[in-house]
Amino acid sequence: MASFHAVTSYSSRIFPPNIKEWKPKKIYQSQCPAFPLRQLPPLFRTGLTSRLGAETSNNRVSASLADVSLDVSLETNQLPGGGTWSIHKFGGTCVGSSQRIKNVAEIILNDDSERKLVIVSAMSKVTDMMYDLIYKAQSRDESYISALDAVLEKHRSTAHDLLDGDALASFLSRLHHDISNLKAMLRAIYIAGHATESFTDFVVGHGELWSAQMLSSVVRKNRIDCKWMDTREVLIVNPTSSNQVDPDFLESEQRLERWYSKNPSKTIIATGFIASTPQNIPTTLKRDGSDFSAAIMAALVRARQVTIWTDVDGVYSADPRKVSEAVILKTLSYQEAWEMSYFGANVLHPRTIIPVMRYNIPIIIRNIFNLSAPGTKICQASVIVDEDKQNLKSFVKGFATIDNVALINVEGTGMAGVPGTSDAIFSTVKDVGANVIMISQASSEHSVCFAVPENEVKAVAMALESRFHQALDAGRLSQVAVIPNCSILAAVGQKMASTPGVSATIFNALAKANINVRAIAQGCSEYNVTVVVKREDCIKALQAVHSRFYYSRTTIAMGIIGHGLIGATLLEQLNDQAAVLKEEFNIDLRVMGIINSRSMLLSKLGIDLSRWKELEKDTGEVADLEEFVRHVHGNHFIPNTVLVDCTADSVVAGHYYDWLQKGIHVITPNKKANSGPLDQYLRLRDLQRQSYTHYFYEATVGAGLPIISTLRGLLETGDRILQIEGIFSGTLSYIFNNFKGGRVFSEVVAEAKEAGYTEPDPRDDLSGTDVARKVIILARESGLKLELADIPVKSLVPEPLRASASPQEFMQQLPKFDQDLTKQQQSAEDAGEVLRYVGVVDVINQKGTVELRRYKKDHPFAQLSGSDNIIAFTTRRYKNQPLIVRGPGAGAQVTAGGIFSDILRLASYLGAPS
C-alpha cells in the first residue's frame, strides 16, 4: 500500500499578492508513481487537507491511501476553470414575466460558450413585495396574509405559463412549501412586532430562489442539462459596519467546489443577491447584490467574461434623462466605471467591479430588449488604450451629477500651518455621521471646503461651530459658512487630467454657458475632475460640457422674435441649411420658439421649420414675451440660448440688457438699442465686455455687409479711424442711382415704392432717420459718445408733407415739391457730378452728419447701381486710399443672411469648428 506526504500552506489574506497566479502550494513525496493531490476530487481534497492539518504540526503529514476510499468517478466532477465559463446576470426586469423568462432561456441556449453560469434576480417588483410583507407583519397589519397570497399567485401563474408535467408539479410543491414556511415566520414577526435582519434577509431572498428554479426548468425543457444553485450554499460573506458585506473568497471557492462535485453541469442557474454568513445564517449582498453575485462567481471560476443584462443599450455618456443626446459608450475602464458609478451614473456599484478587476475579467452591459446593440465593455485600461484613438473624446468618457448637496467652507487665517486642523474638522463630521462627498483645499491652507448631502449640512455646521467656538470667538477662524442648493458635476475619463487642454475645455464650456463654479476637486488618479455648481445650473452645466466634449457639436436654443419679411426669410434660410450645418459643421441650431406681436409658437425639442406657419395656426398661443424667453432659455437640455430680434421695436430692444444678464446671447438687425440713449448703450456694452454672453448686430448697418466687423478689426489691430463715410440706405441708394436723365424725384420714389425698396411709408426712408441711426452706431463703435440728437440730418421730406395723414396722401402731394431737388440734380449734372445721400462719421472732429452731397462721376460713390451700399473707411493705415466695403445693403435676403452670419459666428465662439 502506497503512502505519501503533503505539505500545504495557505495565505491568511483573502487576496494574496499576485492573486491571479496564486494557488495553494503543495509538495508531494510518494513511494508510488506520481499521484498529485490536486487530481483528487474537490470534496475529498478539501476534507483531506483540513483533517491532516489538524492532526500534525507544520502541516506535515503521513497517511495511507487506505485511510480514504477513492471514488475515481468524482475526478470528472472537478470544477473546471481557465476561462471556460461565461457568466450571465439577468435583473428583475429581464425575468419580470413568463415571456421574458422564455426570452432569457433563449439567450442562454444561444450562447455557444463551453460552460454557462447564470445569475438571476427575483421577478420585477417581487423583492419590494417581500420587503412589504416584513413591514406589514411587524406593523401588525394583517393584510400581510393577502399580500403573501399575491406573491404566491404571481409565481404560480408564471409557472403554469412556463412549465408542465413533473417540472410544474415539482416547482409548485416547493413553492407551496416555501409559502407555508414564510407564513409561519411572518406570523411570528407579527406577534413579536419586530423582524431581525436575519429574518428579513431570509424572507426577501425567496424571490431569487423561485426565479432560478423556474428558469432552470425552462432550460431543461429544451433538453439541456441544467442545475440550479441556491447560492446560500456557496457564497460566504462577512457583514461590515457600513451595511455592506465582504466576500470570503477562499471559503466560497471551497464550497463551490464541493457543490459542483455533487451537481456537475455545463449550465448552472444560480440565485443572485443572497448568500450566507460563516455561521450559515442566510443574508443578502445588499444594494446591487445580484450584480455583485455575478462578479463574485466570475472571480471564483475565473470566467471568460460577465454579461450584465438590463433594459438599456449600455452605459451612457451622461444621464439620458438630462442630456437627450447622450451616447452609448463602447468601452470603459474599470476605474472609469468605478468613478461614474460613485457619482450616481447607472453603471455598476463599485463593489461589483472589484472581484472581476483582480482577474481582468471583462463585464459587458447589454440590453435584453435590443439584442442588436453591442453594449458597453468594461475592462482593463490597457485594452481600451489600444482600441481608442488618442483624442480628447477618448480621454473624457462620461459625465455624472449628484444633486441636493451643500458646501461647507471652514475659513480663517489661523488655520494656515496649524497641524491637526483638517483632522479636527473631519473627525467632527464623522462624529455627526455625515458623508463627505468631495473635499477642496487650497495650498495656502486658509480654508477647507467640502460637500455633504444637504439633509446633513445643518447638523454638520452646528457641530463644527461647537467644536471650533473658541477659535471663532478668538478670530482664528473667521467663519463656518454653508452654501446650500448645490450640485456636483464630475467629468470622468482615462488619464484625462494628464492630457493638455481637457480641464481648460471643461471650464471654458462652463464659462461660455455662463455657469459659475463654486468649488473644484481633482484627484491625482487622473480619472476625475469634479466641480460644484448651483443646483439650478446643474443640468445646463451637464449639457454644456457634454455637448462641448462628446460630439464636438454646438447646440444652440434659438428664439426668433418677429416673423415679418426679414424674420420669415431667416427661418427659411435656417430650414435650408440646418441639415448641412449639423452634418458637415457640427452645429445644431434649434428654434425653440417664434413670436410676433400677436402669437407665439413654442416647442421643447425644436420647431419643424418646414411647416412653422402651419404649426403656428394649429398650436400657436397668445404672445407673451416674458413666457417666450423663459421657455427658450429654460430648456436645460441645451446649454446655449440666443434670442434673435428681427423687429425694429424699441420695447423689445429695451430687454437686451436683462437677457444678456441672464446669460442669453442676443443677435439683431434692430438699430434701436445701439442708437438709443447713450447711457443705455454704454451700460449694454459694459455688460457684454464683462461676461461671456455675446451681443452681435452686424446687420444693423449695411444688412449683410461686413461693416461692423471690419470696423472692429481695424480698431482691434491698432488702427485709428479718421472718418467713415458711406451710402447706408439701400432705398436712397436706389433712388439717387436712378434720379437722372431728366427724371423727377417723385417719379423715382414711386418706382422704388412699387418695387418694394421703401418702407410702407416712404417718409421713414426719406427722413434720413434710419441713416442717422447707422451713423450713431458707427460713431459709438469708433469711440464717440454721441446722442442721436447730436446728428444734423438733411430730411428729404418737404416740410409741409411731414404731417400728411397717410402714405397715400404723401405720395399724391410729393410731385408739387420736385422743383428744388430737380435744380440740385441738374446743377450737379452740369458740373459732372452726381447727388448722393450719405452719412459721415468725423472722428477727428467728433461729430456726425447726414446730408446730400455731390461727387465726381469717377468717385466710387458715383459708381453704384441698384440698391447697393458703399462705405469708405479713412484710417491712419488707409489714409490716402480709403478701405471700401461695397455690396447689397437692403433686402430681406441679404439682411437675413447678415443675421445668419452672426448666428454662425456665435456658434464658432461657443466651440464649433471655425
* Residues with catalytic function: 774
β-strands 528-534, 479-492: how paired? antiparallel
Amino acid sitting at position 812: Q
Please tell me the distance from the alpha carbon of residue 375 to that of residue 337, in angstroms, as a whole number.
Answer: 14
For residue 284, give the nearest of 351, 339, 342 by alpha carbon.
351
Helix or strand (DSSP H, E) at 591: strand 587-595
Helix (H) / strand (E) element for 271: namely strand 267-271
Question: Chain centroid to CA 234: how far?
Answer: 41
How many C-beta atoms surround the C-beta of residue 80 within 10 A? 15
CA angle 446, 408, 424 (to 5 degrees): 65
The alpha carbon dihedral of 181, 187, 192, 198 has a sign of: positive
- Distance (Å, whole) CA 796 – CA 801: 10
CA 731 to chain centre: 49
Length of the chain: 914
Going by their DSSP bridges, the two strands 60-64 and 25-30 should be labelled as unpaired
- Classify each residue of 240-252 as buried b or exposed e, where b means 16 or more C-beta atoms within 10 Å of its C-beta: eeeeebebbbbbb
Closest alpha carbon to 558 in 684, 451, 646, 443: 646
Q: Which residues of 507-520 are buried (b: 16+ CB within 10 A; e: fewer)?
A: ebbbebbbbebbbe
Cell digits for 47? 476534507
What is each CA distance from 234 to 11, 16, 131, 198, 238, in whole angstroms? Answer: 21, 21, 24, 18, 13
CB neighbours (10 Å) of residue 670? 25
Q: Which three cell numbers, joined as nine digits, stand for 567?
A: 424674420
Place of cell 435656417: 574
Q: Is 24 helix (H, G, I), strand (E, B) or coil?
A: coil
C-alpha 516/C-alpha 511 separation (Å) is 7
- The dihedrals phi and psi of 423, each to the nearest 5 degrees, come to -60, -40
β-partners of residue 885 are 871
Bridge-based pairing of strands 274-276 and 227-229 is: unpaired
C-alpha cell at 70: 477513492
> For the chain, first and last CA: distance in Å?
87
Instruction: Give the separation between CA 493 and CA 491, rounded to whole angstroms.
Output: 7
CA-CA distances (angstroms) from residue 105 to 90, 93, 125, 175, 372?
Answer: 11, 14, 20, 21, 17
Strand partners, 481: 409
HSE (side-chain half, CA atoms, 13 Å) at 216: 26
Residue 718 identity (one-letter amino acid)? G
d(CA 910, CA 912): 6
Q: Is 172 buried (19+), middle (13-18) or exposed (0-12) by CB count in 10 A?
A: middle
In sequence order, the 6+-apart residues with CB closer than 8 A to the CB of 279 are none
- Judge contact between 541 and 575, C-beta under 8 A: no
Provide the grid cell at 52: 491532516
DSSP 83-97: S-EEEEEE-TTTTSS
Q: Where are the beta strands (DSSP E) in 65-136?
A: 85-90, 115-120
Q: Tally Cβ neighbours within 10 Å of residue 636.
A: 18
